Amino acid sequence: MIKFVRFDAGAGAAYGIMEDDRIVEVKGNLFENWEKGEKEYALKDVRLLAPCEPTKVVGVGTNYKEVVAKKGELLPQEPVIFLKPSTSVIGPEQEIIIPKGVNEVNFEAELAVVIKKKAKDISPEEATEYILGYTCGNDITVKDFMEKGKPWTKAKCFDTFMPLGPCIVAGIDGANLAIRMYHNGNLVQDSNTSDMIFNVPLLISYISKIMTLNPGDVISTGTPPGKGVLKPGDVVEVEIENIGRLRNYAL
């Protein structure tokens, strides 16, 4: 298991490997050839950034069986997907900016998959070769616009609406991970990725048949049951087993 991070130690963004309470800088391209460098930093002395710079984030809606069961609906026959722009991405400890004039903003704990290499028209059996690793995601949504039947783009694509982090973990299986959300310290989502309707390889394959996935792109795989309303001053934390905890603040 390797924990990749993107960080700033004062000289701009760099990639590294997190080892306990220190970071070893990486030489080379994280998505091609890389090796450990000689520079090391104490974790407390650096600022963690969003762990990658995606050209796009592909979101997945209604992908947990328990969500469908609570609604009394039938399981979907194919994934429901949407896009979030690169401008929605922020990192750990950064602020989620709540738009003016909206009534209800929701948070959604999600397992996020980071793509390792260009993927187009691949099969589910090939998909694991295209995964760099997994990170925590928080799909922020303006519920007002969802309920009014407006396009999901308006509800989900505001700047700062896709926190990611704190690291990308390679070498783990994303199919059976505990996933939780804490809102101001209170547990509001508690599930496991084993409850997904469409697993990660199926999602990668499905999406790659529609659009090209580039290195660093992210697939946010849907959220389990549970919700809350995000208000200025709130703290939200996504916790995923073997990955860590992503904390952000609402402004």
CA neighbor of 189 nearest in space, from 147, 232, 137, 144: 137
Task: Tell me what pLDDT residue 227 has.
Answer: 83
Can you tell me the mean pLDDT for 231-240?
98
pLDDT in tens, 219-232: 999 999 998 899 99
**Which domain-ending residue is among 49, 67, 84?**
49
Q: What is the pLDDT of residue 241?
A: 99
Q: Please list the residues that pair with 240 across neighbouring strands.
A: 179, 244
CA dist 82 and 73 (Å) reads 20
Strand 235-240 vs strand 178-183: parallel, antiparallel, or unpaired? antiparallel
* Six-digit token string for 133: 């690793």
If DSSP codes are grouped into helix, strand and coil, which group holds residue 208? helix
pLDDT tens by residue, 141-164: 999 888 766 778 999 999 999 999
Compute the distance between CA of residue 116 and CA of residue 102 in angstroms, rounded to an integer. 37
Shared domain for 61 and 143, answered yes or no, is yes
CATH code where residue 122 lies: 3.90.850.10
pLDDT tens digits along 61-117:
999 999 999 888 899 999 999 999 999 999 999 999 999 999 999 999 999 999 999
Residues 226 and 197 in one domain: yes
Considering the domain architecture, whether residues 64 and 43 belong to the same structural domain is answered as no
Q: How many CB atoms lie within 10 A of CB 9?
A: 16
Tell me, what's the pLDDT at 193? 99
170 and 219 both lie in a single domain: yes
Q: Report the pLDDT value the prediction gives residue 88, as an integer from 0 to 100.
A: 99
Alpha helices per DSSP H over 30-127 = 65-71
Nearest to 138 by CA among 201, 218, 194: 218
**pLDDT number for residue 148:** 64
Count of the separate structural domains present in the chain: 2
Sign of torsion over alpha carbons 178, 183, 187, 188: negative
pLDDT of residue 35: 93
pLDDT, tens only, 20-62:
999 999 998 899 889 999 999 999 999 999 999 999 999 999 9
Q: In the prediction, which pLDDT does 149 show? A: 65
Q: What is the mean pLDDT of residues 241-249?
A: 99
Whether residues 27 and 84 fall in one domain: no
Looking at the fold, whether 201 and 218 belong to one and the same domain comes out as yes
Q: Which domain holds residue 38?
A: 1-49
Same domain, 121 and 161: yes
Amino acid at 206: Y
Q: Are residues 20 and 75 in the same domain?
A: no
Residues 26, 143: one domain? no
Residues 87, 159 share a domain = yes
pLDDT higher than 80, residue 197:
yes
CATH (domain of 35): 2.30.30.370
Domain match, 67 and 32 both = no
What is residue 127's three-state secondary structure? Answer: helix
Q: What is the pLDDT of residues 79-93, one digit of tens each?
A: 999 999 999 999 999
Please, is 164 exposed, middle or buried when counting C-beta atoms within 10 Å of its C-beta (0-12, 13-18, 19+)? buried
Same-domain pairing of 153 and 199: yes
Write out pLDDT tens, residues 166-194: 999 999 999 999 999 999 999 999 999 99
State the pLDDT at residue 146: 84
For 44, phi and psi rounded to 5 degrees? -70, -15
Token digits of residue 130: 């295209």
